[in-house]
Amino acid sequence: MSPQSQPPQFRSRNRSKALQERAERFFPGGVNSPVRAFRAVGGAPPFVERAEGAYVIDADGNRYIDYVGSWGPMILGHAFPAVVEAIERAARGSASFGASTAAEADLAERIQACYPAIEKMRFVSSGTEATMSAIRLARAATGRKIIVKFEGCYHGHSDGLLVKAGSGVATFGIPGSAGVPEEIAGLTLALPYNDLAAVEAAFAKHKGEIAAVILEPVVGNAGCIPPAEGYHAGLRAITRREGALLIVDEVMTGFRVALGGAVQLYGLEPDLVTLGKIIGGGLPVGVFGGRREWMDMLAPLGPVYQAGTLSGNPLAMAAGLATVAHLQEGASEVYPRLEATARAVAEGVAAEATKAGVPLTLNRVGSMWTWFFTPGPVRNYEEATKSDTAAFGKFHRAMLDRGVWLPPSQFEAAFLGAAHGQAEVEATVAAAREALAEIGG
């Protein structure tokens, strides 16, 4: 890369490399979540020191336009002042109590205003906890054992949901996970996404045995894959007819694709909803909720046990309140701006790929998208796996060297936030022009 094409103040990543080597002494692969290792794209991962607005800054002082956004929650941008101030205020009162606070109901009230389908809810500390708990509740509510999920959809790393999961499982080509007993894996049916006939066949084969269908309403963990027209309505009709619950996992799409998430965007009628990421303003949090009759089965009212010392953590509640309040009060401005900016950057890069003769399929819903390095189309996990992951790896490295940070996997969605603007769009498209020319050449 010539000095002229380097981002401003670009330095080597020697300190990040040294930090990675140090981390490998303590953590498997030197990381605490697998895709951070960059093994799918090559090279050593930069170590982040801080972030502001649309940018992250690594340990060597390099500044990158960020399209990871902590995997989605930084919809307002990094270190958004109102969120930082809320966390600071809460921290002065202590980081944790293990007791109830008014902030829990304050945040719940705002969530419910955006998600009327959530009549009651419970806070947890992660998306994995939320989906795991929702499934336990669905099994108790129906008296059935089998769960239907969809290939390439990731619902956290609990045992029964790692069957043909997306995200890191797809990135590393792992069919499931060692350590998951066959007896547990056998209770999960993994079906092709966007295929209602497969769902009908599963219910016919397992009559009266399926407790719930859980889905990402927009797949984000096999890359961004939108639902086919009528797909959600078909799932709702089938589950209602067969007496199974429909669990909509909005850990990624919640408050992202619309103020009321995919439930609002697609007019969904879920029995249970799971949320995470954004509702904590970037702090560890999750929530599951839905119809009152199901939620009242949870202890202490009912027989379904679920607990967590850090559930409703005061710092996460404060950050979530500040984030959701800003999204609610500024929805008429925030969401149109997110849509316009995401369209400009996603379509701008796709146009450069066409010019460079690089086969690429763009899938986008609102401010989440994926550039699949395949002629496409990409409507399910099987089609996503036809992508040229080697080409994506080259693209990722070339973009990183030009100051653009993308998710380090072909099978992860990219995100932007309200802090991204025209300057970031232009810089990204310009970087992509050079990166794609290298690949096309």
Q: Residue 286 forms beta bridges with which residues?
A: 124, 276
Token code pair at residue 209: 């045995």
DSSP letters along 227-293, please? PPTTHHHHHHHHHHHHT-EEEEEETTTTTTSSTTHHHHHHT---SEEEEEGGGGTTSS-EEEEE-HH
Token duo for residue 32: 């605490």
Helix (H) or strand (E) holding 215: strand 210-215
Could you tell me if 97 and 315 are in contact, meaning their C-beta atoms sit under 8 angstroms apart?
no
Q: How far apart (Å, rounded) are the C-alpha atoms in residues 287 and 121?
A: 7
Structural contact between residues 223 and 363, judged by C-beta atoms closer than 8 angstroms: yes
State the Cα–Cα distance between residues 376 and 233, nearest whole angstrom: 25
Q: Is 249 a catalytic residue?
A: yes
**H or E, element range at 171:** helix 167-171
Q: Per the residue annotation, which of 277, 335, 381, 394 is the catalytic one?
A: 277
Q: How far apart are CA 60 and CA 62, in angstroms?
A: 6
Q: What is the C-alpha separation between 364 and 62, in angstroms, rounded?
A: 28
Among residues 154, 193, 335, 381, the one annotated as catalytic is 154
User: Omega of the bond prior to 300 within 30 degrees of 0, cis?
Assistant: yes
Annotated catalytic residue, options 66, 249, 271, 401: 249
- Total residues belonging to the chain: 441
Q: How far is CA 234 from the centre of its chain?
A: 24
Using an 8 Å Cβ cutoff, are 347 and 341 in contact?
no
Cis peptide, bond prior to residue 175, ω within 30 of zero: no
Given a contact cutoff of 8 angstroms between Cβ atoms, the answer to whether 241 and 208 are in contact is no
From residue 95, give the alpha-carbon distance in Å to each of 98, 312, 373: 10, 11, 44
CA distance 40 to 30: 15
Which amino acid is residue 293, in one-letter code? E
Residue with tokens 């991204």: 420
Residues 6+ positions from 241 with CB-CB distance below 8 Å: none
Give the integer Cα–Cα distance in Å for 42 and 40: 6
- Active site residues per annotation: 154, 249, 277
